[in-house]
Structure 1
Amino acid sequence: MPINPDQGSTGGGATVTFTGTGLADATAVRFGNKSAAITANTPTSVSVVAPSGAGVVDATVSTPGGTSNPEPFYYVPPPVIVAVAPSSGPLAGGETVTVTGRGLATTTSVAFGATEVTPTVVSDSQLTVVSPAHASGAVSLVVTALGGTATASGTFTFVGPPTATGFSPLSGLPAGGTLVGITGTQLSTTTGVTFGGVPATFAVLSDTEVAAIAPAHSLGAVTIAVTTTGGSATAPGVFLYLIG
C-alpha cells in the first residue's frame, strides 16, 4: 500500500495519502502509537495529517475489514543553518551563496526576504543557491525543508555598486609598499583591490574608505580598481610607479 509522501517534519502537519484497495470507511490511521486526523477517504485512498513524531514509525490504516500492513514513515528533523557565505551580493542578483548546517538534504526552497529561489542541494550539511535580483538592503534568509524551516542568524544584504572617487598619494616606488587611501561609496564589502591588475593587500576602514598597500609593479602609470560584492569601480586618474 503506497504512502505519499513517506516522510515529514518531526512537528507533524504533513498531508499524507495512503492508496490501495478496501480503504472505504477508514476508522483510524496510526503513525506508530499516535493517531492521525483523517481528512479524506475513498475506497482506494485515505488522506491524513501526520501527527508529530521522531525516527521511523509504522503507519497503518484500519477499516471495518481490518488493519493494513505497516508502511514506514520517516520523521525528518527541522533544518539548522550554521553559516551563510557570502553574506551580501549585488542588486542584480547572481551571487552564488553557500549555506552550511544540517538537515538540509530535503530543502525545497530558500527565501531572500519575500523572494523564493530553488537551491542546489550538495549534501545534508550544505547547499548552494543563486541570489535573486532585489532592492538594496538587508533581508532574512530562510531555508524550507521537509523537516520545517530555519532562519539564518544574520541577514543577507543586497549591495549597490561601489564608486571610487579618489586616492592618495598619487605615486609610489616600483618595489611597492606605499600605503594608499582610496575613497568612494559602498566600499564596506570590498573583496579586492588591484593596481594595474595586480592584487593588493587592503583593509576596509569604512563604507567610504579603503586602505591598500601598493604591490610591486614595473615603472609607469596604472589604474586602481576596487571590487565589492556589489560590483567593481575604477578610481579616476592613474597611480604612478616612479623611482624615488
Structure 2
Amino acid sequence: MPISPNQGSSGGGTLVTITGTNLSGTTAVHFGTRSATSVTNVSPTQVTAVSPSGNGVVGVTVTTPGGTSNPVPFFYVGPPFKQTLSPASGSTAGGQTVTITGTGLSTATSVAFGANTAVPTVVTDSQITVVTPAGAAGAVGVTVTTAGGSSNGLSYTYVAPPTVTTIIPDEGPTVGGTAVTITGTALTSTTSVTFGGTPAPFTVISDTSVAAVTPAGAAGDVDVVVSNDAGSDTLVDGFTYVAGPGI
C-alpha cells in the first residue's frame, strides 16, 4: 500500500495519497495512534488524507468495514533552521551561488529571495546551495521551504552594478594626492576605486557621488574603475596624470 508523499511536516497538514485495493468505504486513516484530520475515499484503489501533527516515523493504516490494513511508514520532518548565508549580497542580475547552513535542510525544495524563488541543491542535512534569482536593489528576506515547513530570518542584499559618468577634477600631479569627486549611480555600496589599477582611498558621499584621493601614477591618461559586489564600471582614460616641471 504505497503512500505519497511519505514524509511531511511535524506540524501536520500534509495531503497524502494512499493507493491499494478494497479501499471503498474507508472509515478512518491513522498516522500512528492519531487520526488523519481529513479523509476522502477517491476510489476503490485510492484514499487521500491530511496528516495530523506528529514526530519521528509512524505507521499509516487504513480502516474499512473489512478491517485495518498493515501499516506503511510516514516520516515526520521538523521545520528547517538556518544559521548562516554566504555571501550575503550580490548583483540584481542574480546568478550568484549562495551557501546556506543550518539543520533540517535535506528535504529543501525551494528558497525564496523576497518574492522570487529558486531551486536549491542539497549538499547535506546541514548545508544547501542555491543560485540567486534576479531581484530589485535592496535587502530581502530569505525563506527555505522543506518537507517540514518553512524558515526565514536571514536576509540577502541585492546590489545594482555601479555606473561612472564624471570625475572632477580630471587631472592632477603624478605624485598623487588630488582630491576628486566621482559621480554616477549605485555608488552607495562601492567597495573599491582604482586609478590605472592602483587602489585609491575613497569615501561614499551618496548613491551618486564618491570622493577619492588619487594615488601616485605615471604621466598620462589612466582608467578610473569603481567596483561593488555586483560588478564594476570603467571611465576610460578618465584621469590624466601630469608630470611636474623640470629645470
Query: TM-score by structure 1 length?
Result: 0.79
- The equivalent of 1:91 in structure 2 is 92
Aligned partner of 2:129: which letter?
A: T
Q: Deviations over 1:153-186 (max 9, x none)?
A: 33x333222134438895566xx9x798774442
> d(CA) in 1 for partners of 2:25 and 2:102?
44
Q: Deviations over 1:9-48 (max 9, x none)?
A: 0111111111111222112111111110213342212110
CA offset at residue 211 of structure 1?
A: 6.1
> d(CA) in 2 for partners of 1:141 and 1:211?
35
Alignment CA distance shift 1:48-1:234 (3 Å):
same
SS in 1 for 2:21: coil
- The equivalent of 1:225 in structure 2 is 225
Q: Deviations over 1:75-94 (max 9, x none)?
A: 11111222222333323222
CA offset at residue 232 of structure 1?
A: 0.9
- The equivalent of 1:34 in structure 2 is 34
Alignment CA distance shift 1:121-1:99 (3 Å):
same
* Structure 1, gaps ≥5 residues long: none
CA offset at residue 209 of structure 1?
A: 3.4
Length, aligned pairs only: 238
* Structure 2, gaps ≥5 residues long: none
Alignment CA distance shift 1:213-1:28 (3 Å):
farther
Q: How does 1:1-244 map to 2 (within 5 A)?
A: 1-36=1-36, 37-154=38-155, 156-164=156-164, 165-166=166-167, 170=172, 183-184=182-183, 185-197=185-197, 200=199, 205=204, 207=207, 208-209=209-210, 222-235=222-235, 237-238=238-239, 240=241
Aligned partner of 2:163: which letter?
A: T
SS in 2 for 1:107: coil
Structure 1 or 2, whichever has the larger Rg, is: 2
Percentage identity across paired residues of the two chains: 49
CA offset at residue 117 of structure 1?
A: 2.0
Give the conservation status (yes or no) of the 8 Å contact 2:174–2:219: no
Alignment CA distance shift 1:68-1:201 (3 Å):
farther
Query: TM-score by structure 2 length?
Result: 0.78
> d(CA) in 1 for partners of 2:3 and 2:27?
17
Query: What RMSD, in angstroms, separates the aligned Cα atoms of the two structures?
Result: 3.3
> d(CA) in 2 for partners of 1:46 and 1:85?
44
> d(CA) in 2 for partners of 1:110 and 1:190?
28
> d(CA) in 2 for partners of 1:19 and 1:204?
66
Give the conservation status (yes or no) of the 8 Å contact 1:193–1:212: no
> d(CA) in 2 for partners of 1:94 and 1:194?
26
Alignment CA distance shift 1:211-1:35 (3 Å):
farther
Alignment CA distance shift 1:73-1:242 (3 Å):
farther
Give the conservation status (yes or no) of the 8 Å contact 2:85–2:154: no
Aligned partner of 1:233: which letter?
A: D
